[in-house]
Structure 1
Amino acid sequence: MIPPAIAIANLIKFPESILTSTTILSVNAPKPVISNAGGKLVWLDAREGLHVTKGALLGFMESLGKHRQVLDLYERLNQLKSDLNEGEVNKAKWLDLKSYRDLGELQQDFQVFSQACIAYRNYLAGGLYPQKRAMLKADLAHLALLNENLKKQKSLLEQDFVLSQQTFNMSETLMEEKLISESELRNEKSRLLGKKLTLPQVEASMIANETQQNEKRKEILELDDAISKQTQLFQEALDLFRGQTEEWMKKYILTAPVDGIVAFNSFIQVNQQIQPDQLICYINPGDSHYFAEAYIPQDNFGKIAIGQEVLLRFPSYPYQEYGLVRGKIEFISHIGTEQGYLSKIALPDNLSTTADKKIQYREGLTANAEIITKDMNLIERFYYTILRLKKY
């Protein structure tokens, strides 16, 4: 009959293991929501387990400006940018500059942008420069019409000159035949010369007309160039102010970085004093996957094999209360480094512990790993210890 003590010793598990440190890594890890400004949290719309979409408003940090007014302004700036990009500048929804008086830290930048808006509106439909351009186009059209009339006048004068030349030629023939007097011939020649002098005058008027048209075209080109340059300057001013508004929003407005579920790791409430770079909450995408990375010391490398069980204990989460996270060795590198041999430990239950609790992931999370290299009971462990002692 087996003594009770031996039977109990046979049941007690005392596995052989190797201890090492690990770093927890993640695929699609929960994203932290960080406060970029210190001060009071004046509004909070995030709660544990809340489903949110990327960009959703989670909270407002204390600021001199009204957050909702800044958000409305930013939306209108984006619409204005879209209209400009699509060439719909004359149909753009312009800002009511007098409506934005509570922008706080942004107010001075807004004043600079407002001046750019006012200056640019002079270059839009109904403004000074478009009106001037319309007048130049009208002048150009009138000059073109006048030029057409001059061309017709020149054509008629040329025809009249040809007829006058023919009449004069006939008069010369009649003079030779003594059918008309010398005085009548002189009168015909005078009329012919008068017709001949009229043509250069019309041609001079046509040249002057072309010169005037070219001057008008030049003024229109210069005006178009000024409008184009002013448009570029305004777009630069718009982009600059949009960037300044975005920086303000990053500093004073908390938003969800991804789609997911809100998770807190500390108590946060409205009117609480928040420090710069303080963690507010996490957004868990829902499909996060975790694994551990460990380096196995060279003197223990021969005992390690793929598939061996690993027990992870987290210094920040006492295992007596939170339990352990189980894993299995999934990969072992055959190339050693100064740190040892790199191994990957799969975590089938992610960061759920043996006590049915969850470890909150954060970047740089570490754990102490116990790799079970041989599953033995107490008697086997005692036996192998005696054998090792006999070798020495």
Structure 2
Amino acid sequence: MNWKLLKLKPEEKENLNRSEEVSDIIDRMPTSFGKWVARAVIIFTILLFTFGWLIKYPDVVSGQITINSNTAPIKLPAHTSGKIELLNVTSQDTVKEGDYIAIIQNSAKTEDIRKVATLINEFDPNEYKTFKRACTLFPEKVSLGELNMKYYSFLSSLKSITDYADDNQYEQQQISLLEGIKWREKILDETKNALNISTENLEISRKWLDKYSSLNKELITTYELEIDKSKADYLSAKQNNQNLIKEMASIEMQIAESRNRLSQLSVERREQERKLHLDLFASYHDLSDQLKQWEQTYVLKAPFDGQVEFLKFWANGQFVQAGTDVFCIVPKENVILGQVLLPAVGAGKVKTGSNVSIKLDDYPYSEFGAIKGIVKSISLITNEYEVAQGKINTYLVLVDMPDGLVTNYGDELDFKYEIGGQADIIVKDRRLIERLFDNLKFNTK
């Protein structure tokens, strides 16, 4: 007999009876159903892990993108107010760098301005040999408006230096002085020879005078006459000798004065040439600067090769207000680039070479598809950018498009400057199971 059961309270005996009934029911459960449930749980778990490993989808960092090119189009504004004159150019015409598109009305004659500008560009103020030919090329009668004074000042300087070279006054004076010096040096040599002869004659006269002076005057009846004659010859020879010495000194002084004048002429010549050249340089650069200023003020011209776009419907004689954008020059050949403003949040995952999916606002994604891009560069610092929600910090990301504007649907989109859209930068393909464990790790740590 089980004494433990006899000692149990009535409530405990009732619970025991119930447990036995439950155990009896459990023992009588069908064995095949339990195996089926176990197999289903195992298969579901295996499928979950298998698909969690096989299924991958990328992490994406998104930002706003603008499609542009390496050479941006340039708008040409009017720098002064006045009536516009179109120069046979229509919208979307091809233009070359430097081509005139339109002129704002002014007092100058455009043909004269362009002719003078061409001559000035070809003129070299350092090439002295070309000055004479340049004088014949530059016209004497032109209508340059406010540039007339600058032009005629330059032309006067050019003619002055050309006349100076033709007249050659300083060189002629120098040649004349050199010839005079040579002639005087020749006379000086002859005078020196005459002085030598005169000196010999003086010595002879002095000897005869000494000889007659030493004789006894009582023995010679003509003593007085001979003495006077010898003395007269001696004095005449001495006077002639002194005259030759004075003549030599005078010639040497004339030669010295001529050499001094020659030096002065060299200095005056250099100063005159320097002054003429400085005047030419100053007037040349002044005219050149004024021509550029005139062109900048009144001319609308192409800064590079491309196509001209009219920003309004312009007609000849229409008034243009200063500061108004008149034309836009679109570059002919460009490398298309994407410029992305990437929010700083999550930007650390973006690397150079990451793939980019570009969806443009002008071409709906569902109809045209997306464009493939590759991250080319990422700015090192952020820049504050204002959006509708407020100010955010963004990185500047350049995106290359190796296939151009060809979408994944095979459509080639037309290029337009500053088309906006969304850029989804694919940073990494991650498995579903990795994301599950990332959530578990985030929740547990």
TM-score by length of 2: 0.64
Structure-2 separation of matches of 1:335 and 1:213: 75
| Identical positions, percent | 13
Q: Specify the alignment match of 2:421 in structure 1.
A: 368
> Is the contact between residue 298 and residue 336 of structure 1 (CA under 8 Å) also seen in structure 2?
no
Q: What is the distance in 2 between the residues matched to 1:93 and 1:138?
A: 29
Question: Do the aligned partners of 1:325 and 1:351 also contact (CA within 8 Å) in 2?
Answer: no
92-101 or 325-334: bigger deviation = 325-334
Q: Of residues 267, 290, 294 in structure 1, which corresponds to 2:337?
A: 290
Matching of residue 164 in structure 1 with residue 164 in structure 2: no
What is the rounded CA distance, in whole Å, between the counterparts of 1:186 and 1:305 in structure 2?
121
CA 1:218 to 1:120, structure 2 compared with 1: closer, same or farther past 3 Å? farther
Q: Which moved more, 1:163-172 or 1:300-309?
A: 300-309
The residue aligned with 1:3 is none
CA distance 1:114–1:269, change in 2 (3 Å): same
How has the CA–CA distance of structure 1 residues 145 and 302 changed in structure 2, closer, same or farther, with 3 Å as cutoff? closer
Q: Name the structure, 1 or 2, with higher relative contact order (CA <8 Å, separation 6+).
A: 1
The yes-or-no answer on 1:99 pairing with 2:141 is yes
Q: In the alignment, is the contact (CA less than 8 A) between 1:34 and 1:280 conserved in 2? A: yes
Deviations along 1:228-252, whole A, 9 cap, x unmatched? 1232023112201110111111222
Letter in 1 for 2:163: A
Task: Give 1:264's aligned residue.
Answer: 309
Given that 2:174 and 2:265 are in contact with CA atoms closer than 8 Å, whether structure 1 keeps it comes out as no
Deviations 1:261-308 (A, max 9, x none): 315264655425445351513242414342323324424755889543
Aligned to 1:86: 127
SS in 2 for 1:290: strand
For the residue of structure 2 that corresponds to 1:292, the secondary structure is strand
CA gap of 1:168–1:249, structure 2 versus 1, over 3 A, is same
What code does the residue aligned with 1:218 have? Q
- 2:229 matched residue in structure 1: 184
- Structure 1 distance, partners of 2:100, 2:369, is 36
The corresponding residue for 2:415 is 359
State how far apart, in whole Å, the 1-side matches of 2:168 and 2:349 are.
88
Decide whether aligned partners of structure 1 residues 211 and 304 sit closer, same or farther in structure 2, where only a CA change above 3 A counts: closer
Normalised by the size of structure 1, how large is the TM-score?
A: 0.72
Q: Determine if contact 1:44/1:269 at 8 Å carries over to the other structure.
A: no
SS of the counterpart of 1:99? coil
Pairwise CA RMSD:
4.2
Whole-Å separation in 1 of the counterparts to 2:158 and 2:185: 38
Aligned twin of 1:22: 65
Cα distance change, pair 97–91 in 1 and its aligned pair in 2 (3 A): closer
Match of 2:401 among 320, 342, 347: 347
**Contact 1:37–1:252 at 8 Å: present in 2 too?**
yes
Superposed, 1:1-392 pairs within 5 Å as 18-24=61-67, 26-47=69-90, 50-80=93-123, 82=124, 84-88=125-129, 90-94=131-135, 98-101=140-143, 103-104=144-145, 106=146, 109-115=147-153, 117-118=155-156, 121-125=159-163, 130=167, 132-133=169-170, 136-137=173-174, 139-172=176-209, 174-175=211-212, 176=214, 181-206=226-251, 207-215=253-261, 217-258=263-304, 260-264=305-309, 266=311, 268-271=313-316, 272-275=318-321, 276-299=323-346, 302=349, 306-314=353-361, 317=362, 319=364, 326-331=371-376, 337=382, 339-340=393-394, 343-350=397-404, 356-361=412-417, 365=418, 367-371=420-424, 373=426
Shift of 1:169: 5.0
Point out the more displaced range, 40-49 or 367-376.
Answer: 367-376
CA separation of 1:325 and 1:185: change in aligned 2, threshold 3 A: farther
**Distance (Å, rounded) in 1 between the aligned partners of 2:276 and 2:122:** 19
SS at match of 1:257: coil
